[in-house]
Structure 1
Amino acid sequence: MRKRLDFLSLNFLRKIEIRYRLINCFILVSLLPLLISGLLAYGETSSATQEKVRVYSMQVVKQISQNLLLRMEKIEDTSEELALSDRLQNLLTDYYGSDEAASAQARSGISKVLLDSYGSFPYVNQKYILDRKRQVIDPQIFAPLANSVARLAEEAPDLNGRPWWTLYNAGHGQRSLAMLREIRFTGNNRSAGLLFVGVRPSYFFRIFEGIDLGYDSSIFIVDANDGAIVVQNRETGPGNADPALQQGIAASLAQKRDADFIAYTGADKMPYYAAIARVPHTSWLVVSATPSDKLNADTRSVRNKILGIGLLCFAVSLLLSAIIARSITQPLKRLVMVMKETESGNSRIRVEQAGSDEIAVLARKFNEMASKLHQNKEQLEDQVAVRTRELERANRKLEALSATDGLTGVANRRRFDEALATELRRAARSNKPLALLMLDVDYFKKYNDRYGHQAGDECLRIVARVLQKSSRRATDLVARYGGEEFIIVVAESDPGGAIQQAENICDAIFELKIPHADSPFGYITASIGVAALQPDDHTAPERVLRIADQALYHAKYQGRNRVVLGSDTVHTL
C-alpha cells in the first residue's frame, strides 16, 4: 500500500503541475456546504463583534465622562476655595467700597491673589475676576481680551451657584476651555462678581491614556450646543463633529438619554457606530466613533479562517487529498531541511532537483541562491556595519535636535526640565547654591503687532545670543521657557552674583538699541526674576520656578526693565 502511495504521489503526480492537481481536487469536492457554513458564521460573528464593541465602547465613554468630571471638579474645588477665601472676600469688599485708594489697591491685590492661586498650574493660561458689571478687574489686561471675556460672561446662563464650562477663543485661533463661577459675599450672599479660569485642552489629554478600542476608533468630547470638539485623543487643531453625528446626538438628547449607541453615515460616505455619554452638569458629551468597515474587517478575517479550516478538514478526509498532500509535502520537507541547514551556516548543501513541477523549479533556484549566498554574505555584513555607523550618527544628531528650540537655537523646555532636576540634585549633594534667572521681553506683544512676527522672531534670536554670551560656565544652561520667556540655570551662584549677572543681561539687551516705539523705554528691554537658594534633597523644581516666576511678576509690576530677587528682595537697575 505504501509503495502504491509513493508511486502516485512521488512519481505520477509530480509530473503534473500543482495548480492542476488542486483544480482537479476542487472539482471533485463540493464547496457548497462550506460556503453556507461560512456565511452563517460571518453573520453571527458580525453581530457578536458589534455587540462587543457596543458594550465596551459604552463602558469606555462612561468612564471617560467620569474621569473628565473628576478633572473638572479639581479645578472647581480650587475655584470654590478661592471664591470663599477671606483674602479675596476682603479685597472685593475694598474694591466696592467708597475709598478710591483702597479700591485701587484692591485691584492689584486681586491680580496677586489670582497669580498665587493659579500661577503654579501650567494648564491654567488665563485667570480673571469680573465685577458685577462683568468688567475684568485687572489694570494690565488688554482691552480686546477684556471685552472678549466680558462678552463670554454675559452669555453665561444663570449659574445657580454651580460652575459653568464652555469653549473660549483664547486668541490666535486657539481654543481653550473656560470655567466661570459666581462669587458671593459670605456675609450677605450678595453677588460679588465672577471668577474666570481658562484651561488648556492638553490638561484633559491624560484621560485618554491607555484607552484604545481598536478598529481605528476615535474618542473625543463634543459640545452638544454647536458641535464643536472640546478635546480629543489625537492632538489636532480645533474643529467640529461630523454633521450626521451631530444629528444623531440631537436625536438621542431629545429622548433624554444619558448614554446611547447610534449609527450614522459620515461626510466621507462611510458608515460609523458611535457610543455617546453625557458629562454631568455640562452640554458636553463623550463620543467614541468606530468605522463600520474597520469593525467588520476582523469579522471577515474570522469568516475566511472558518472557511479555510473547514476546507482543509474536508479535504484531509478524502484519500485523494492525502495523496496530493504527500506529493507536495515530501519535497517541501526536504527543501525546508536544506534551508535550515543553510540558515545554520552550511551553505554547501544542495536540494534534489527531481521532477518538473514548481517545487523542482524552486529547488533549482534555491541551489543557485545558495551558491551566491556565501559570496554575498561578507558584502552584506560590511554594508550592515556601514549602515549601523550611519544610523548611530543620525541618532546622535536627532537627539541633539530634540533638546533644542528650533527658533532660537538654545535648549528647549524639555531639556531645561531635565537640566534643572539634575542641577538641583548636584547642588544638594555638593552643598552649593543654585540660581535661576527667569527673563521676559518687555512689551513683546506690542513689538510683534507693530513690527511683525518675523521681526519678533529675530528679536528673540538676538536675545538668546545675549543670554548665551552671559553664561559663565559650561554648567550654565540657557533655555527658551515659552513665548518670549527665557530661563537660565546658574550653578554655584549666590544671590549677589545672580543679581549681578541678571543686571548685566538687562544692560546688554538695552545696549542693543533695538527700536521699540510702543515701549516707554524706546528700545527692547527685559525684566528678570531671580531665584537664589541652597537646595536640599527635598527641594522641588516647582518651588524654584515659583520663586523665579513671582519675582518676574514683581519686576513687571514695578515698571519692567529691572531685576527682582525672590523672597521680596528687590534690586532695581
Structure 2
Amino acid sequence: MRFNFNLPSRWYDHILMFQLRRIEIRYRLISAFVLLSLLPLLISGYIAYVDSDNAIETKTRIFSTEVVKQVSKNIKLRMVQIDNESASLVFSNQVQHALTAFADQNEAESIAARRDLTQALLEEYGAISYINQKYFLDKYHRVVDTQVFAQLTSGVAQFINNASPSLGHPQWGSYDNGVGQENIGMVRNIISKNNNEIIGAIFLAINPAHFAAIFDNVDLGGGAAIYIVDSSTGKIVVGPPETQQINVDNRANASAMLKSMASDLKRGAESGFITFKDGNREQYVAAYATIPDTSWLVINTIPKSRLIAEIQTVRNKIALIGVLCFLFAIALGTIIANSISRPLKALMRRMDESGSLVSPATSSTNYVSLKNAEGKDELTKLSLSFTVMNDIVHQKIAHINEINATLEQKIIERTAALAASEQESRTLIENSPDTIVRFDLECRRIFVNPTFDPLFSEESQSLLGTKPTESPGGLNGEIYEEKIREVIATGNKDVFELRWTAENGKENCSHIRMTPEFDAKGNIISVMSVGRDITELNLSRSELNAANVQLAEMNAMLESLATHDPLTQLPNRRLLLDRLHRALPTSERNGRYGAIMFIDLDHFKTINDTLGHDAGDMLLRQAAQRLQLCVRDVDTVARIGGDEFIVMLENLSETPFDAAAQTEIVGNKILEVLSQSYQLVGHQYQISASVGITLFNGTQQSAEDLLRQGDIAMYQVKKSGRNALRFFDTQTHEAFNARGLYF
C-alpha cells in the first residue's frame, strides 16, 4: 500500500487558496487582528485568574498564622501572670498556717483558719474583676471558705475531680457553668513547705472576657472570627466579646475544624492552616496555633468567599479592559484593512473602466489557459487581468507587467509588515501604564506618550520642546534635569525615585529609569526616560511601618501589665522580686546595706467598705504618690496587693547601725506623710500605717525570707497599736532599744 504524504499539504492549499481566497482581503485582515488580540487576552486572563487565587490564599495563610501565634503568646502571658499571683498566695505563711490548722480538726483553729483563708482571698483577689470565683479546698476537695456554699456546683466539682495538677504547677481547663456557657478554671495544689505534702488546693474561675479582650486589638476585617477552642472537648472556650454566646452552628464549625486539624495535632504541630466546610457547605480557611501547656487552640476563621471578593472586582475590570481592547482591535483592523484594500479596489475600478479587468467567471475560449485560476478575491481578478494583458501585448510588455506585479506584491507585503510593526510599537507605548519620554541633548522633550495626560491640565503634546525645569519646574524639575545631564555626561544608565506634586495637587512618587540612546557611531543622541508610579507601594510601606510601631506599643503595654500594678502604676510583686534578686548580689559586692520596708495602711478596709472601692482606689493612688516622694530615684516603691506596699532602699551605709539610722529617717518620713489627711469624695480622711523593716547585706538570706521578715515585723507593729515602725534585724536591737525601738 502506498501512502499519500502530500495529503496535509493539499488540504492546506485547499483551505488557503480555495476557501479563504473567496473572502475579500480587508475581511481577512480584520479577522487576523481579532484573533491575534483574543489569543493573548485569553491566555493572560486565565493566568491572572489562577495566580490571583493562589496569591490571596498564600497571603491570608501567612498573615492569619502570624496573628494567631501572637494572640497565643499574649494569652499565655496572662495565664503566667495569674499563675505567679496564685503561687505567691499559696506559699504565704498565712495560707500555709491556716490550711495546716484546718487539717488538725480542731474546731476553734478551723474557724480561725477559715477566717484567715477568706481574708487572704479577699486581699489577693478582692479587687480583681476578672476572677469570678475563688475557693480554698482541703486535700479532699471540700470547700474551706465560709463565703461559699459547702458543696461545689456540678461543673466546678467535675472539673476539679478530673484535674490532676502536678506538684507546684497549676492545671488549666474549661467547665460548664450550668447555663450552657464555658468558664475557664485553674486548679493548683498547695504543698506544705514543712513536709512537701499536699495540704489543700486553690480553685480560680477566670472570666473568659479577660482573655477575649486580647481580640479587641486584632482587626481581621468583616466575616473573620477568632476564638479559643478546647481540642480535648471540642468546645469553644473564649470567643470575641460580641459573640460570647456561642450558638450551635459555631460548635458545629469547631467540630469540623478539629477533624481537619487532627492529623497535624497528632504530629505535634504548634500552628497550621486548613480548609474546611461548615454545616451549610460554605468553605472556610482557618489558621490555628496551640497555647503551650494546655489543650487549647487559638483559631482564626475566614469565609473563602470573602477572600475572592476583592480579586473578583479586579477580574471584572480585566474583563472590561479585554472587551475594550477587543473592540479597539476590530476598529483598528478595519482601518488598516481599508488602508490596504482601498488601493486595490481603486486599481480594479480603473481597470474595469478601461476594460482590462477580467473576472474568473469569464467563459471565453480566449481564456482557456486561465480556467484553473484560484480564488475569487481582488488578487485573483487582478492576476487574471494582468495575464490577459500579457496575452494581448508583446512578450516584453508581458515581462514588464510581471515584474511590476511582483514589485507591487512586495510593496504590499512590506507596507503591511511596517504598518503592523509600527502599530505594535505604538500600541505598546500608548497603552503602557508607565510614562515614557525622550530628551534631546539639551534636556528638551522630543517625545511623550499619552500617559502624561492625566498628570497635567494640558495635553501631553504641549510638553514637547520643554525642559523639566520649565514644566513642572521647581526643585523636583531641577533634580530631574540634573539626572538627565549626568546620563548624557557619563553614558551610563540611572535609576532613582522622585517625589512630586501633580497639577491636581496629588502627591506622587515615581520610579524612574533613564537609558542613553546612541547612533551608529556610538555617540549619545538622546535619553529615554521611563517612569513608573509607585505611589501606592510607597503608601503601603508607610502603613506597614505604622503597623510595626503599633505592634511594638501593644507589646510594651502587655509587658507593663505583667510587671506593674494597674491601679498605682507602681512595680508589682514580680518586678519587686526581680529587682531584689539583683540588689542582693550588688550589696554583697559593694559591702553596702539595703533595707526592705513592709508597709500596711491601718484601717484601710474600713474606709474601703464605708466609702466604696472608688474612694479606696483613690486613697491607694495618693498613698503611692506620697511614698515615691519619700525615697530616691534608685529606690523602689512597689504595691504587692490590697493596701500593702514595699519600699526597697539600696546603697545605704556599710555599717548596720548607720544603715538602720538612715532607714529609720525614711520610715519616720513615710509615717508622717501617710498620716496626713486625704481628700476623698469631697471630705478629708486620715489614716496611719504600720511599717516593718529588715536590713540585708549579701545573699545570705533569700528575697522571700526578707519579705517574710518585713511582714513579721509589720504584724508586730499591728499588735502593738499600729502607726509605728519596727526593725526585724537583730544586729541593731540593743542600739535602737534605747531609742524606743524594740523587737
Determine which of 151, 161, 167 is the counterpart of 1:154. 161
Is 1:55–2:67 an aligned residue pair?
no
Count the aligned residue pairs: 344
SS of 2:243's partner is: coil
CA distance in 2, matches of 1:138, 1:225: 31
Offset at residue 281 of structure 1 (A)? 0.5
Name the CA shift for 1:168/1:315 in 2 (closer, same or farther; >3 Å): same
Offset at residue 246 of structure 1 (A)? 2.4
Partner amino acid for 1:92? L
Q: Specify the alignment match of 1:217 in structure 2.
A: 224
Q: Specify the alignment match of 1:298 in structure 2.
A: 310
Offset at residue 256 of structure 1 (A)? 2.5
Partner amino acid for 2:258? Q
CA distance in 1, matches of 2:153, 2:687: 30
Are the counterparts in 1 of residues 142 and 150 from structure 2 also a CA contact under 8 Å?
no
Are the counterparts in 1 of residues 170 and 189 from structure 2 also a CA contact under 8 Å?
yes
TM-score, length-scaled by structure 2: 0.40
Determine which of 266, 282, 286 is the counterpart of 2:278. 266
Q: Specify the alignment match of 2:319 in structure 1.
A: 307
CA distance in 2, matches of 1:77, 1:89: 17
Q: Specify the alignment match of 1:112 in structure 2.
A: 119
Partner amino acid for 1:303? R
Partner amino acid for 1:69? K
Partner amino acid for 1:126? Q
Q: Matches of residues 403-422 of structure 1 in structure 2 within 5 Å?
A: none
SS of 1:288's partner is: strand
Q: Specify the alignment match of 2:545 in structure 1.
A: none
Offset at residue 132 of structure 1 (A)? 0.6
Q: Matches of residues 235-246 of structure 1 in structure 2 within 5 Å?
A: 235-239=242-246, 240=251, 242=253, 243-246=255-258
Partner amino acid for 1:298? E
CA distance in 2, matches of 1:271, 1:249: 15
Q: Specify the alignment match of 1:444 in structure 2.
A: none
Deviation digits for residues 35-94 of structure 1, max 9, x if unmatched? Answer: 332122011110111111111111111111111111111101111111222221121121
Structure 1: any 5+ residue segments left out of the alignment?
1-25, 324-419, 422-434, 441-477, 479-485, 490-528, 548-564, 569-573
Are the counterparts in 2 of residues 177 and 230 from structure 1 also a CA contact under 8 Å?
yes
SS of 1:182's partner is: strand
CA distance in 2, matches of 1:534, 1:270: 53
Offset at residue 211 of structure 1 (A)? 1.8
Q: Matches of residues 5-404 of structure 1 in structure 2 within 5 Å?
A: 31=38, 33-145=40-152, 148-214=155-221, 216-239=223-246, 240=251, 242=253, 243-312=255-324
CA distance in 2, matches of 1:31, 1:63: 48
Name the CA shift for 1:167/1:146 in 2 (closer, same or farther; >3 Å): same
Offset at residue 155 of structure 1 (A)? 1.1
CA distance in 1, matches of 2:71, 2:128: 22
SS of 2:129's partner is: coil
Partner amino acid for 1:82? L
Are the counterparts in 1 of residues 252 and 279 from structure 2 also a CA contact under 8 Å?
no
SS of 1:208's partner is: helix
Are the counterparts in 1 of residues 37 and 329 from structure 2 also a CA contact under 8 Å?
no
Are the counterparts in 2 of residues 130 and 195 from structure 1 also a CA contact under 8 Å?
yes
Offset at residue 172 of structure 1 (A)? 4.5
Offset at residue 303 of structure 1 (A)? 2.1
Q: Specify the alignment match of 2:374 in structure 1.
A: none
Partner amino acid for 1:187? N
CA distance in 1, matches of 2:48, 2:620: 71
Deviation digits for residues 125-144 of structure 1, max 9, x if unmatched? Answer: 11111111011111231245
Partner amino acid for 1:102? E
SS of 1:209's partner is: helix
Partner amino acid for 1:308? L
Are the counterparts in 1 of residues 252 and 278 from structure 2 also a CA contact under 8 Å?
no
Are the counterparts in 1 of residues 37 and 326 from structure 2 also a CA contact under 8 Å?
no
Are the counterparts in 1 of residues 212 and 240 from structure 2 also a CA contact under 8 Å?
yes
Higher RCO (CA-CA < 8 Å; seq separation 6+): 1
Q: Matches of residues 532-571 of structure 1 in structure 2 within 5 Å?
A: 538=625
Deviation digits for residues 438-466 of structure 1, max 9, x if unmatched? Answer: 889xxxxxxxxxxxxxxxxxxxxxxxxxx
Name the CA shift for 1:64/1:286 in 2 (closer, same or farther; >3 Å): same
CA distance in 2, matches of 1:279, 1:168: 18
CA distance in 2, matches of 1:93, 1:280: 33
Deviation digits for residues 517-558 of structure 1, max 9, x if unmatched? Answer: xxxxxxxxxxxx999999689499xx9x978xxxxxxxxxxx
CA distance in 2, matches of 1:530, 1:302: 56
Are the counterparts in 1 of residues 143 and 151 from structure 2 also a CA contact under 8 Å?
no
CA distance in 2, matches of 1:52, 1:66: 22
Name the CA shift for 1:200/1:533 in 2 (closer, same or farther; >3 Å): closer
Are the counterparts in 2 of residues 220 and 233 from structure 1 also a CA contact under 8 Å?
yes
Larger radius of gyration: 2
Are the counterparts in 1 of residues 94 and 116 from structure 2 also a CA contact under 8 Å?
no
Name the CA shift for 1:271/1:531 in 2 (closer, same or farther; >3 Å): closer
Q: Which moved more, 1:277-286 or 1:303-312?
A: 303-312
Name the CA shift for 1:546/1:169 in 2 (closer, same or farther; >3 Å): farther
Q: Determine what percentage of the aligned residue pairs are the same residue.
A: 38
CA RMSD of aligned residues (A): 4.5
CA distance in 1, matches of 2:187, 2:688: 32
Offset at residue 278 of structure 1 (A)? 0.9
Are the counterparts in 1 of residues 65 and 289 from structure 2 also a CA contact under 8 Å?
yes
CA distance in 2, matches of 1:531, 1:567: 16
Are the counterparts in 2 of residues 178 and 196 from structure 1 also a CA contact under 8 Å?
yes
Are the counterparts in 2 of residues 221 and 229 from structure 1 also a CA contact under 8 Å?
yes
Structure 2: any 5+ residue segments left out of the alignment?
1-32, 336-566, 569-604, 628-638, 644-685, 690-743
Partner amino acid for 1:91? A
Offset at residue 152 of structure 1 (A)? 2.2
Name the CA shift for 1:322/1:69 in 2 (closer, same or farther; >3 Å): farther
TM-score, length-scaled by structure 1: 0.51
Offset at residue 115 of structure 1 (A)? 0.9
Partner amino acid for 2:242? E
